[in-house]
Structure 1
């Protein structure tokens, strides 16, 4: 008996648990606040999924999107951000107690 896999990414369709959501259609137009069940039905009529894009808003903002495409674009954006970020490397050296001043200066350079 294994535990179910942890879902990552945005909630969509039946995974949205709040009763009312603010809905934005596929063209970016605001359809207003409606019940989640109605919004899922409207998204199915268009052939898309209802995806929660802003879960912390009151009520949460959901959009008519293709979930697979949305996840793919988010993954590409994360990979690009990770590729362009700078990392700093710290160089380490070993120092012994009876090292001479000149040797110390050489290693510090």
Structure 2
């Protein structure tokens, strides 16, 4: 069965089916309640489009406006593009650890995580357990994350580090950290 896409664009001109509409002229003046045919004729006389603004106005009558639909949709797309440009994308970098990690490997991973934090990225530490390590998962997991937090304190990130999210899914534990904005 073919899926029908719903078009989110507003109804314009002949697609508006209500017999009576609340008309707003192209200069913003409220004309009042008129028939759909009169509103269409007014839009055609001005060489503009009749655009549905709201399904239900104050009196339960749809609100329509005479405007250049192409120009209005272009302006809307341009504004949303500008908003997307100025949006900041939050990146989460993952650092994977094992409970029996060597000290030098641990220091390398911490240095990498501190670099990510100083760049303004969030860091997700993932601790995975295998086989017999699962027997001491609770103690080793808490011990490892406490050690990570202590290392942050030792490196001068005392009040800036925020713990965002914890997840304990059986053999894999994860915790996300990020720096507080100053």
Structure 1 equivalent of residue 118 of structure 2: none
Structure 1 residue 4 displacement after superposition? 8.2
Structure 2 equivalent of residue 60 of structure 1: 62
Cα distance, 1:22–1:105 mapped onto 2, change above 3 Å? farther
Structure 1 equivalent of residue 74 of structure 2: 72
Cα distance, 1:4–1:98 mapped onto 2, change above 3 Å? closer
**Structure 2 unpaired stretches of 5+:** 115-182
Cα distance, 1:101–1:34 mapped onto 2, change above 3 Å? farther
- Residue-by-residue CA offset, 1:8-61 (whole Å, 9 max, x unaligned): 421100111222221111111000111222211111111111011233533222
- TM-score, length of structure 2 as denominator length: 0.52
Residues 7-46 of structure 1: pairs in structure 2 closer than 5 A: 7-46=7-46
- Residue-by-residue CA offset, 1:54-107 (whole Å, 9 max, x unaligned): 335332221111111111111111111111122211111221231135643542
Cα distance, 1:51–1:79 mapped onto 2, change above 3 Å? same
**Aligned partners of 1:42 and 1:3: how far apart in 2?**
37
Task: Please identify the structure whose Cα radius of gyration is greater.
Answer: 2
**Aligned partners of 1:99 and 1:60: how far apart in 2?**
67
**Structure 1 unpaired stretches of 5+:** none
**Number of paired residues?**
108
Higher relative contact order (CA 8 A, sep 6+): 1
Cα distance, 1:4–1:104 mapped onto 2, change above 3 Å? closer
CA contact (8 A) 1:9 1:71 kept: no
Cα distance, 1:105–1:19 mapped onto 2, change above 3 Å? farther
